[in-house]
């Protein structure tokens, strides 16, 4: 059967051709009310000022050279200024490319090269890295040289209130200027830039193709955030975002209202962060934007700004579930917390809701490949493990991967999504998620299909029954242990059987530093079947690598495990090289030298025994082999 929302609403086609004009029409009725505050800088804007500031931003972009079809990349941290860039580029029919500033230089180069960006806007502290990226693009992309601009250069003439959160009467409204469509007909006046722009003939051809897009095909290019694969670009229509906002605004989901104070502590370069910010502004709420993603910093922002609704990443929920002192904190105005990015267990959600004394704690299912938020739990519902019900107009199908038939309730299968905002050509990519639904139509997301661990029961002799272990299943159980702050599960390949066994990475709680691997094994044995034991080993690490959205980066954990294993084998032959090689092994996680001792706390030496096909040369490795972009070369032939 298909799963749909119990409440359906008609998706209206907006009368505005311009994405920004749709919001300006909504902003007009809110007058001088406080609209947006940048927590770090203290700058704030009223709803009356938003239109004038956006048009000034569009004018500045036109002077720099941005025109119809220009591809502009935003490589910066979470900031309120990003919303102005989105509005201004939509007025100029330019394409916005969202790139997280937390990525490495090689990852930024790959995303900018695939998206064919010609302009890049960044903050001052990221200019050195982007200059390196610009040289790489110029040398390898057929003459393509990226023009890098400071983000402050676009907003140097913008006026905003600098006094932080005192009274709304201090906000001085500014009269809206003429519609920015006139800017598109104006010849661009090129100002003196930081770096001269040199555009190849291929770039001009790309911009000519983009300029032929009709008004309803103006796009924002997101990069899907995956735990074990390279990011891939996703084109999102402005029309899809507007339809998604209509779906999210249904009353059963408890959307923000004019009296709410919303905190955006999620990645604005991801669809969940951007849609949440636009929804708060559309409904006249006060939006507080912070770039600080640490849980304690988010709690301080909630307390200082008297937030009522918070949009956060999953690591915040994990932290709050372990901190029992939060019940004494004065967070009374906070009534609702919404998170998205990674699956969270029911026990963790219950503890977080109890410690924060919340009326509402929910998970949303945001899919980058679809470009929208696909499901959201009803306001105040108690199915904390669920990601809610499909948004109005969307249809979920759970199909079995063997027979491709529709699954019954609580039967695990692949998730397929259909509906107006979901782009048709991206629909087939959604099958990488696995989950199920219950009798009431609630959706439960388990894991990515590619992360499943398949192994055989060693105790069964007559038949080779295959069993499946989903990493989230074991991770949710481990999170219930008081001595574990964070954890992750990856698969370790066993060559004789070609089966992956679970390998565990543990972050100890500060009060449980004596936690031993045997204690963890005994704890899992009391909660899980015997054939799902941790046969791949237990590793203690200072932190679990996660993306800006809170997803576990399992590919980095696999690299860490492989090189620590190589280090151990070489250490048995030459103990003098252990420090150098361990530091190289954990380079991907940017850990300190103190991490070396923690990474070597393995269960026993037999965990490193592998087949002859996997044994590497035990000669001294001078450096870890990498490509020119910084990627680790895992082929053993490249180890000299």
Range with the lowest mean pLDDT among 88-102, 171-185, 320-334, 622-636?
171-185
Q: How high is the pLDDT of residue 456?
A: 43
Q: How high is the pLDDT of residue 235?
A: 85
Rounded to the nearest 10 degrees, the angle between the axes of helix 471-479 and helix 517-525 is 110
Strand ranges (E), 425-554: 433-437, 443-448, 453-456, 466-469, 484-494, 499-508, 538-540
Instruction: Output the DSSP codes for 520-585.
Output: HHHHHHTTS-GGG--TT-EEE-S---B-TTS-B-HHHHHHHHHHHHHHHHHHTT-GGGHHHHHHHH
Whether residue 392 contacts residue 419, with contact meaning beta carbons closer than 8 Å, is answered with: no
CB-CB neighbours of 579 under 10 Å: 13
Whose tokens are 């640490």? That residue is 294
Q: Residue 195 above 90 pLDDT?
A: no
What predicted TM-score, i.e. pTM, was given to this entire model? Answer: 0.77
Segment 373-420, tens digit of pLDDT: 999 999 988 899 999 999 998 989 888 876 678 888 988 888 888 887
* Token code pair at residue 194: 């930081």
Range with the lowest mean pLDDT among 34-38, 386-390, 541-545, 614-618?
614-618
Q: Residue 216 above 60 pLDDT?
A: no
The residues, ordered by sequence, that sit 6+ positions from 433 with a Cβ below 8 Å of its Cβ are 367, 414, 415, 445, 447, 448, 449
Q: Within 13 Å and on the Cβ side, how many CA atoms surround 590?
A: 5
Segment 312-330, tens digit of pLDDT: 999 999 999 988 888 878 7
CA distance 187 to 527: 69
Highest-scoring range by mean pLDDT, 227-236, 312-321, 525-534: 312-321
Segment 454-482, tens digit of pLDDT: 544 433 322 333 456 678 888 889 999 98
Segment 538-595, tens digit of pLDDT: 888 888 988 878 888 888 888 887 777 666 566 555 555 444 444 444 443 333 333 3
Q: Give start and end residues of each alpha helix (H) in 212-260.
A: 238-248
Q: How high is the pLDDT of residue 226?
A: 60
Q: Residue 212 above 80 pLDDT?
A: no
CA distance 443 to 22: 32
Q: Residue 30 above 60 pLDDT?
A: yes
Rounded to the nearest 10 degrees, the angle between the axes of helix 81-91 and helix 271-282 is 80
The secondary element (H helix, E strand) that includes residue 34 is strand 34-38
CB-CB neighbours of 460 under 10 Å: 11
CA distance 640 to 629: 20
* Token code pair at residue 208: 């000519």
- Distance from the first to the final alpha carbon of the chain: 57
All structural domains of the chain: 53-223 (3.40.50.980), 460-638 (3.30.300.30)
CA distance 329 to 349: 18
Whether residue 574 contacts residue 620, with contact meaning beta carbons closer than 8 Å, is answered with: yes
265 SS3 class: coil
Q: How high is the pLDDT of residue 69?
A: 87
């Amino acid at each position: 059967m298909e799963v749909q929302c119990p409440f359906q609403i008609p998706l209206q086609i907006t009368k505005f051709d311009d994405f920004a004009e749709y919001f300006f029409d909504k902003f007009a009725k809110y007058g001088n009310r406080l609209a947006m505050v940048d927590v770090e800088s203290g700058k704030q804007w009223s709803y009356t000022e938003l239109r004038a500031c956006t048009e000034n931003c569009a004018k500045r972009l036109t002077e720099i050279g941005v025109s119809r079809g220009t591809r502009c990349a935003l490589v910066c941290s979470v900031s309120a200024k990003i919303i102005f860039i989105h509005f201004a580029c939509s007025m100029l029919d330019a394409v916005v490319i969202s790139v997280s500033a937390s990525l490495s230089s090689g990852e930024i180069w790959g995303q900018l090269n695939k998206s064919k960006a010609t302009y890049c806007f960044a903050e001052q502290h990221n200019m050195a890295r982007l200059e390196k990226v610009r040289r790489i693009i110029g040398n390898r992309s057929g003459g393509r040289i990226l023009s890098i601009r400071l983000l402050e250069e676009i907003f140097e003439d913008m006026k905003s209130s600098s006094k932080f959160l005192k009274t709304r009467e201090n906000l001085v409204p500014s009269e809206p200027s003429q519609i920015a469509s006139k800017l598109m007909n104006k010849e661009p006046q090129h100002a003196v830039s930081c770096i001269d722009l040199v555009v190849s003939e291929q770039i001009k051809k790309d911009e000519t193709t983009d300029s032929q897009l009709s008004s309803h095909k103006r796009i924002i290019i997101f990069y899907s955030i995956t735990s074990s694969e390279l990011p891939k670009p996703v084109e999102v229509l402005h029309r899809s975002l507007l339809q998604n906002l209509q779906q999210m605004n249904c009353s059963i989901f408890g959307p923000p209202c004019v009296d709410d104070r919303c905190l955006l502590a999620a990645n604005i370069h991801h669809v969940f962060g951007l849609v949440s910010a636009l929804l708060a502004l559309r409904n006249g709420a006060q939006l507080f934007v912070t770039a600080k993603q640490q849980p304690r910093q988010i709690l301080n922002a909630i307390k200082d700004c008297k937030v009522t609704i918070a949009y956060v990443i999953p690591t915040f929920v994990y932290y709050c579930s372990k901190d029992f002192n939060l019940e004494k904190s004065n967070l009374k105005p906070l009534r609702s917390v919404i998170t998205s990015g990674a699956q969270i267990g029911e026990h963790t959600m219950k503890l977080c809701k109890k410690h924060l004394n919340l009326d509402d704690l929910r998970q949303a299912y945001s899919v980058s490949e679809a470009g929208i938020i696909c499901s959201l739990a009803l306001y105040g519902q108690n199915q904390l493990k669920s990601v809610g019900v499909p948004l109005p107009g969307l249809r979920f199908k759970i199909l079995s991967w063997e027979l491709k038939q529709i699954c019954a309730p609580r039967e695990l299968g692949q998730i397929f999504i259909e509906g107006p905002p979901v782009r048709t050509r991206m629909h087939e990519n959604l099958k990488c998620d696995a989950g199920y639904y219950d009798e009431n139509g609630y959706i439960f997301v388990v894991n990515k299909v590619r992360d499943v661990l398949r192994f055989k029961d060693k105790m069964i002799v007559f038949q080779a029954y295959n069993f499946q272990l989903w990493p989230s299943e074991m991770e949710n159980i481990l999170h219930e242990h008081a001595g574990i702050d964070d954890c992750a599960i990856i698969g370790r390949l066993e060559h004789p059987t070609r089966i992956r066994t679970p390998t565990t990475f543990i972050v100890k709680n500060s009060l449980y530093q004596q936690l031993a691997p045997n204690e963890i094994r005994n704890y899992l044995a009391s909660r899980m079947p015997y054939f799902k034991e941790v046969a791949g080993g237990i590793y203690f690490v200072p932190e679990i690598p996660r993306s800006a959205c809170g997803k576990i980066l399992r590919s980095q954990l696999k690299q860490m495990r492989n090189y620590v294993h190589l280090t151990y084998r070489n250490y048995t032959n030459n103990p003098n090289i252990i420090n150098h090689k361990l530091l190289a092994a954990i380079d991907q996680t940017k850990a300190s030298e103190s991490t070396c001792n923690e990474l070597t706390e393995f269960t026993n030496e037999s965990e490193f025994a592998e087949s002859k096909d996997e044994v590497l040369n035990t000669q001294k490795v001078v450096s870890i082999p990498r490509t020119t972009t910084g990627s680790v070369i895992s082929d053993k032939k490249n180890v000299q």
